[in-house]
Amino acid sequence: MQGIYWIRNIVDGKRYIGSAGNLKEGLKERRRALKRGKHGNIRLQRAWKKHGEGSFVFEIVEVVGGDRDDAYDREQEYLDEWFPTGLLYNIAEVVGRPSGFKGKHHTPESKDKLSVARKKYYETNDVWNKGVPATEEIIQKNRESSLRYFETHAGTMLGKNHTQETREKQRRIRKEWFETHEGTFKGKQHTEESKKKNSESKLRYFETHDAWNKGIPRSEECKVKIRITKAANPYVPTENHRQRCSEAHKGNNHNAKSYPAFYNIQTNEYLPSGKNLVKLCNEYGLFYQRMWELKKGATKTCSSDGWHLATPEEIQQYG
């Protein structure tokens, strides 16, 4: 039995008008949604929270025959009659458009206004948990919640692998997308200030967050899988990559990163700081991997040939 219903507030006389294909089940569903705080009409939901369930009555206004369109037409007539009174919780004046904005788009002027309004809001209103670190109890609850979700919502690809044909399709789709959608940073470069901020941010993160597999040796099974994967998908450098590597080894890399000063405790040889570690290693016959590890702080000294990062005293003496 389809028809028109309304949810009436006996305190102020306001009401929400709607239609349902099955009035009995429809009213039950609306009541459940309001109790859970999930009703689609925010005005009605707020009034329910303010006045309480006892202040509302669910009433069948009219039973409508015919098909669903007949019920929509009759609902529209009720909305046209009641909207001028100002006693409706309904937001949209047209049936079938719950948001009142479906099918429309914001103008650039409207987008600018929304952006300014959001910025002003967050300038004066902090997020409730901003700057508040999560407790161990909350972290554990989040983990358990995630596990429960994935136990009951296992993806259709869980335990499966994409076929080669599917992978090729995905690559082609991604390639076509990036050919037509330029990223906001495409063709740009980070400033030195930006690079420094990114570096400091990463350092702060890894000072307080260990990698999930830090200190855990790889199992033999894992090593075998990695070998098989690398053998099946060998890396083939592009021509552009080859050319860049060639230019770097020749010392022509203008974007080369800087390196600190080095000192050799065996030969008392001092190398000042500069740019392009590859060029330095080629010029002095040094092993690049060892010097790079010194630069990154992975090792404190090269025991085989005596090189280490120059101390402030050594820089002052030999620099």
- The CATH number given to whatever domain includes residue 62 is 3.40.1440.10
For residue 101, tell me if it sits in a domain: no
CA contacts within 13 A on the Cβ side of 130 = 7
Provide the pLDDT for residue 304: 63
Of 19, 53, 85, the one marking the end of a domain is: 85
Residue 129 lies in a domain: no
Phi, psi at 235, each rounded to 5°: -80, 125
71 lies in some domain? yes
Residue 309 has pLDDT above 70, yes or no: yes
Q: Of 60, 85, 110, which one is at a domain's C-terminal end?
A: 85
pLDDT, tens only, 73-129: 899 999 999 989 999 999 888 886 444 555 667 788 888 888 888 787 777 766 666
Q: Is the pLDDT reported for residue 207 higher than 50?
A: yes
Is there a domain that residue 38 lies in?
A: yes
Nearest to 16 by CA among 6, 24, 25: 6
Q: Identify whether 33 is part of a domain.
A: yes
> At which of 33, 53, 85 does a domain end?
85
Residue 102 lies in a domain: no
Report pLDDT digits (tens) over 7-33.
999 999 999 999 998 998 999 999 999
Please tell me the pTM assigned to this model. Answer: 0.34
Q: Mind listing the pLDDT tens digit for each residue in 187-198?
A: 678 888 888 888
Query: Residue 247 is encoded by which pair of tokens?
Result: 């230019």
Q: For all residues of the chain together, what is the average pLDDT?
A: 82
State how many domains the chain has: 2
Contact 281, 290 (CB under 8 A): no
pLDDT at 96: 65
Q: Is the per-residue pLDDT at 250 higher than 70?
A: no
Q: Is residue 128 part of a domain?
A: no
| Residue 71 belongs to domain spanning | 3-85
Residue 253 placed within a domain: no
